Amino acid sequence: MQITFKRNFNLNYFLALLLSIMSVMALTSPAVEAMPSFSRQTGQNCSTCHTQSFGPNLTPFGRDFKLGGYTMSGGSGAGAKVPPVSAMIVGSFTNSKMDQPPPDTPTGYNKNNNFTFDQAALFYAGRVYDKIGAFSQFTYNGFSDRLALDNSDIRFADQLELGDMPITYGISVNNSPTVQDLWNTTPTWGFPYTKSAFQIYPGSTALIDGQLSGQVGGATAYTMINNLLYLEAGGYASLANNMQKGLGVANAGQQQIDGAAPYWRAALQHDWKGHFFSVGHYGMSANVFPGRDPSNGTDRYTDLAVDATYQFMGNPKHIFETKTTYIYEDQKLTASQLAGNVNSTGNTYLTTFKFNTAYTFDQTYGATFAYNRTTGSTDTILYQNNVIPRPNSEFYTAELVYVPFGKSNSYSYLLNLHTSLQYIAYTKFNGTTNQASDNNTFMVNGWLAF
């Protein structure tokens, strides 16, 4: 089901007014709780599950809640009896160093300095029945003017004990590899947590790094043993084209998996007196028809990744975090070479390195610094639009966050607000350092959930 809306140029000015109102609210309103459906269901304020009281980044308690299938209860009163439905709106202002309108920019936007109504979303987030829970999101994208099924994760989870050893086990049915992950190191819920349609990013990413998001369906079985060892395995297949159109995620240029693509995950974690550590590995392997065209056979991608997390949660007034992941993608581009889209069929690769460190004060004020690097093989056809025909890019991100609501002294489950300032600085962009800084981008973001 694809629904379009008539664009109104005044929408951008309405968004600017809305962001202003939100900023006033942030400065003048008392604290309230957020992600309403989860808060109503558990009776917990948002700072229990989220390091910055709102947003994807999870505390150990938040990871346990997700591991348990979103079914934990504890809420009381009328709020706990309301169906687990929530909504959000996201808006931003984006400025780049140079005027760089993206392709297919809708009418009504400028070449620079744009207010955008990025998203409006409706969530079913919480227990469905007994040991089954869900996090499912329908999103209207204000930039592309499209309604689509977004990140969705439906789970069955249960627990048992072997002697004194607790074991959690379950099944996740979802539509994007890594959407079910717990550690905010993998692509779907990794930093940055907010983006804008006008932000400028390099053109090359690994298959597991968002290229299949929303276009596939998959199931994985997982277990957490003694709160120490996590194991997960499953697979994904591309949704039928008509189904993708019905869900609003069809894209003529996307990859299509031939058969099933296995996915796996393993991690070790330990929480020692407020110091939380994890280290892990994840990956997938897929044969794909490039551009959904089977006439030349398939390309084969094998993505192998390692990741690590450190969180200091011993004092909620001062939270320190460091996260990193490294993805190596081996590419066998036989079909693309036969189609004339690449030079080489073998020994090509793409690597992605992501690192971020953050400090949060009182789960209200946050500062994050991040570093990203992409490297890969030379190909004069695949990267013909790059000054140097390689995908190599490097950039730094600095972000300041203010989240005024969702603390332990909250009195309501009605809303939450995440505001941020973000700056991206490039030292290399799509193969070259020459004029890379022209892509430097500044964003102001407002994110309201209710």
In this prediction, residue 77 carries a pLDDT of: 55
Strand partners, 308: 279, 324
Cβ atoms < 10 Å from Cβ of 251 = 11
In this prediction, residue 16 carries a pLDDT of: 40
In this prediction, residue 18 carries a pLDDT of: 42
Whole-number average pLDDT of the chain? 86
pTM, whole model, 2 decimals?
0.89
- In the predicted structure, residue 215 carries a pLDDT above the cut 50: yes
CA distances from 70 to 132, 181, 183 (A): 8, 13, 16
In this prediction, residue 2 carries a pLDDT of: 35
Question: What is the DSSP annotation of 224-237?
Answer: EETTTEEEEEEEEE
| Average pLDDT of the residues in 196-215 | 90
SS3 330: strand
CA distances from 390 to 210, 321, 337 (A): 20, 33, 17
Kindly report the backbone phi and psi dihedral angles of residue 371, in degrees, each rounded to the nearest multiple of 5, phi listed first. -130, 135
- In the predicted structure, residue 390 carries a pLDDT above the cut 50: yes
Of 13-17, 45-49, 266-270, 329-333, where does mean pLDDT reach its minimum? 13-17
Coarse DSSP helix, strand, coil percentages of the chain, rounded to the nearest 5 percent:
15, 45, 40
In this prediction, residue 145 carries a pLDDT of: 87
- In the predicted structure, residue 347 carries a pLDDT above the cut 80: no
Q: Which comes out higher in pLDDT, residue 167 or 73? A: 167
Taken in order of first residue, the domains within the chain and their CATH numbers are: 11-449 (2.40.160.10)
- In the predicted structure, residue 200 carries a pLDDT above the cut 90: no
